[in-house]
Structure 1
Amino acid sequence: MAELTVSVLPSIGGIAAAEWDGCGQGEARRGGDPFTTHRFLAALEESGSVGEGTGWHPSHLVARLDGVAVGVAPLYVKTHSQGEYIFDHAWAHAYERAGGRYYPKLQCAVPFTPATGPRLIADDPNVQTALLAAMEHVAGQAGLSSAHVTFCTAAERALGEAKGWLGRTTTQYHWDNDGYASYEDFLSRLSSRKRKALRKERERANAFGGEILSLRGDQIKPQHWDAMWAFYQDTGSRKWGRPYLTRAFFDAMHETMRDDCLLILAERDGRAVAGALNLIGRDTLYGRYWGCVEDHPFLHFELCYHRAIDWAIAHGLARVEAGAQGEHKLARGYLPVETHSLHWVADAGFRRALAGYLTDEIAAVGDDIAETAAFGPFRRG
């Protein structure tokens, strides 16, 4: 009989890229996002963005059937809750007030990346179930409080809930391409007032006194990465206290992932003054990092949202996911959607308390999405 085994890797380097990337070639690779690829996870580790001293300690899972890799999961032992974007800080405080130790915990996720995609990367649901069971086993053996699978697919959530994990619903704002031929075609679907407002907004943004470049692959030069690093540092310092990613990560991106990158830069007088870094999936453009060294009205919206829509339409992509949070995206055609996560808690009493909390939260999030979507910019009917 065939034997399925699951092992833990302390580094993504412990498995060949072809083996890792060869798992889950069907629906498990929804959207073809680059974030769960071997090259992206390796860039995080090799650059020191995760690993020793970061609070993200790689413990990746590999499921093998008679020695052949048939499933993988990006997994980390976490000593904090930073860089996750599905927030459990209140859970940690409650757990510790009750006398428990919440950290360390297990996190199945892509570090610093609030983008929905596969987490239990296998085509066979039985293998996906085995990966979940392995997380429970690892957490139990190590005496960890909990295990979490964040920004998973809806199908993965359903599978996890069937196995007794707790499902959670959160919200993001995504733009969907309804077969638009151009940005003007998209605008034609909006109410007259919203359409005029966005045209005026783009006019003001593009009047900043320079030009806007969209760069991909070999068009991106070292000086462009230098500029993007400066932008990222400025934004990271203000939002998180210190940037998550190292400078070496951007060099690794250039070496192995520049064809996956779309860098939109605003240049004035020969100097980059603002930029937005996107990653390109099979059917989705993922907005990731933004920053600037000069403030210009509406330039943030132009680079992060409008130019992303332009590029998605031109290249036939189905959607734009512009990152976590941000109700300001609504007026620009990005509508609220559900995002999903799974949670396993070792302590039965705490698990019951969380189950009640999540039941109420899920209902509240559903109501909020319905109410918020009603204020979108699209014409009624």
Structure 2
Amino acid sequence: MTPALEPRVLPSIALVEAAQWDALHDRCNPFVSHAFLAGLERHGCLRPEWGWQPRHVTLWRGDELVAAVPGYLKENSHGEFVFDHAWANAYARHGQEYFPKWLGAIPYSPVTGPRLLAHDEADRRGLLRAIVGYVQDAGLSSAHVNFHGVDEDVAFDADWLRRVDVQFQWRRQPGWRDFGDFLAAMDHKRRKNIRQERARVARAGIRFRVVHGDEASADDLRAMHGFYLQTFAEYGNAPALTLPFLRHLAQTLPRQLVLFLAEQDGEPLAGALCLRGGDTLYGRYWGGAALPGLHFETCYYQGIDYCLREGLQRFEPGAQGEHKLARGFLPAEVRSRHWIADPQFRQALRDWCAREARDVARYAQALQRHSPFRSGDEP
């Protein structure tokens, strides 16, 4: 007789063997890998005072892990990139508590990808039922699954509210062999602007090294972490990622960690930290000197160059930023799902989500009219 499925909510991914966890996904997205998630927990990147407490929802058949979702108990909305501050305020106005809530997501990372890790739709739906059961048993206000894949839409029933937003992403088009082909598809104004930006950086004597995790020296990792700290200090934010975490990525994801390091006279000047998936490059963090064009070269053009050389199809450079449009990153829809425990709030927020979706659709249409690509060549 086949054992029944048993839901378990785990306070650490270390309670699951890496091979079991990674058997649930195709290993094309580094952010859902056991190595990435365990590194966050092990190396001081997740702290209760920052609102992140691991609560991974899993389904087991005996000793066999059959489904899982990386999840966290949240006391605030810091580091999520799906903004629900208006929801929290509405709860407060009605004398109810919005926090704590449960979140299925990758901490600090607004990257798209699988969230409901399972081999079939039945187990994905079972996982969603387990999430709802946990939220009800724990007396939480809600459950949220952020930046999930398009193919996971069908697993959610009507009680899970759908939200959409826009990110700017680069997609390779047929015939693009190198950066010159990419530029040739653009209108004259944008093509000229990008050439000028790249020329300024070159004239300043700045050269780039592209290193993967297994090629990065201790000094490379230390420099990149310093650039990351610098950026967060400039914006007055608390940096979450630690240097031991970067070292962990270099060791456990040696070919998926990609650093773009800018140097001038042999000294590190700026850097961008990316992760490489099956067909996608994910830009995560940058920092460096405030020189003309350096940010665009480090964060965008080096990444596009890399994708074209390596045969990658997409480049997700991070959330927000309309300035990315003129540099070849077009609007792409991203999605999230939300289960609200209170039926009255659920209905009110359903209407709110519908209005938001209409606004986002209009915004995306307006952005498309400002595509940098020549008419007829637009991706």
* TM > 0.5: yes
Structure 1 Cα separation of the partners of residues 201 and 305 of structure 2: 15
Structure 2 Cα separation of the partners of residues 240 and 65 of structure 1: 46
Structure 1 Cα separation of the partners of residues 240 and 91 of structure 2: 26
Residues 130-145 of structure 1 correspond to what in structure 2 (within 5 A)? 130-145=126-141
Q: Does structure 1 residue 369 correspond to structure 2 residue 364?
A: yes
Preserved contact between residue 24 and residue 70 of structure 1 (Cα < 8 Å): no
Structure 1 Cα separation of the partners of residues 112 and 165 of structure 2: 11
1:318 CA displacement: 0.8
1:243 CA displacement: 0.8
The two structures, once aligned, show a CA RMSD in angstroms of: 1.4
Equivalent position of 1:18 in the other structure: 19
Select 1:185's aligned residue among 161, 177, 181.
Answer: 181
Structure 1 Cα separation of the partners of residues 206 and 326 of structure 2: 25
Equivalent position of 2:113 in the other structure: 117
- Describe the superposition over 1:232-256 as per-residue Cα deviations: whole angstroms up to 9, x where unpaired: 1111233362112223212222221
Preserved contact between residue 288 and residue 322 of structure 1 (Cα < 8 Å): yes
Q: Does structure 1 residue 195 correspond to structure 2 residue 196?
A: no
Equivalent position of 1:327 in the other structure: 322
Structure 2 Cα separation of the partners of residues 121 and 163 of structure 1: 20
Structure 1 Cα separation of the partners of residues 343 and 202 of structure 2: 56
Equivalent position of 2:257 in the other structure: 261
Preserved contact between residue 221 and residue 243 of structure 2 (Cα < 8 Å): no
Matched to 1:259, the amino acid is R
Secondary structure in 1 aligned to 2:290? coil
Structure 2 Cα separation of the partners of residues 167 and 343 of structure 1: 7
Equivalent position of 2:85 in the other structure: 89
Q: TM-score, normalised by structure 2?
A: 0.96
Equivalent position of 2:68 in the other structure: 72
Q: Does structure 1 residue 207 correspond to structure 2 residue 208?
A: no
Equivalent position of 1:337 in the other structure: 332
1:332 to 1:269, Cα distance in 2 relative to 1, 3 A: same
Equivalent position of 2:342 in the other structure: 347
Structure 2 Cα separation of the partners of residues 191 and 211 of structure 1: 27
1:342 to 1:289, Cα distance in 2 relative to 1, 3 A: same
1:216 CA displacement: 1.1
Matched to 2:23, the amino acid is G
Secondary structure in 2 aligned to 1:323? coil
Preserved contact between residue 51 and residue 58 of structure 1 (Cα < 8 Å): no
Q: Does structure 1 residue 151 correspond to structure 2 residue 152?
A: no
Secondary structure in 1 aligned to 2:49? coil
Residues matched between the structures, number: 374
Q: Which runs of 5+ in 1 are unaligned?
A: none
Structure 2 Cα separation of the partners of residues 227 and 207 of structure 1: 23
Equivalent position of 1:8 in the other structure: 9
Structure 1 Cα separation of the partners of residues 247 and 37 of structure 2: 14
Secondary structure in 2 aligned to 1:117? coil
Matched to 1:99, the amino acid is G
Preserved contact between residue 213 and residue 251 of structure 2 (Cα < 8 Å): no
Structure 2 Cα separation of the partners of residues 275 and 331 of structure 1: 22
Matched to 2:7, the amino acid is V
Structure 2 Cα separation of the partners of residues 203 and 73 of structure 1: 45
Q: Which runs of 5+ in 2 are unaligned?
A: none
Matched to 2:364, the amino acid is I
State percent identity of aligned pairs: 42
Equivalent position of 1:244 in the other structure: 240
1:7 to 1:132, Cα distance in 2 relative to 1, 3 A: same
Matched to 2:337, the amino acid is L
1:203 CA displacement: 0.8
Preserved contact between residue 56 and residue 68 of structure 2 (Cα < 8 Å): yes
- Describe the superposition over 1:287-314 as per-residue Cα deviations: whole angstroms up to 9, x where unpaired: 000001x211011100111110100011
Matched to 2:50, the amino acid is T
Preserved contact between residue 206 and residue 299 of structure 1 (Cα < 8 Å): no
1:66 CA displacement: 4.3
- Describe the superposition over 1:335-362 as per-residue Cα deviations: whole angstroms up to 9, x where unpaired: 0010000001111111111111100110
Residues 165-180 of structure 1 correspond to what in structure 2 (within 5 A)? 165-179=160-174, 180=176
Structure 1 Cα separation of the partners of residues 226 and 30 of structure 2: 24
Preserved contact between residue 173 and residue 325 of structure 1 (Cα < 8 Å): yes
- Describe the superposition over 1:96-115 as per-residue Cα deviations: whole angstroms up to 9, x where unpaired: 11101111100000000100
Matched to 2:212, the amino acid is R
Q: Does structure 1 residue 42 correspond to structure 2 residue 38?
A: yes
Preserved contact between residue 211 and residue 259 of structure 2 (Cα < 8 Å): yes
Select 2:53's aligned residue among 54, 57, 62.
Answer: 57
Structure 1 Cα separation of the partners of residues 131 and 305 of structure 2: 41
Select 1:270's aligned residue among 261, 266, 272.
Answer: 266
Structure 1 Cα separation of the partners of residues 69 and 30 of structure 2: 14
1:163 CA displacement: 4.5
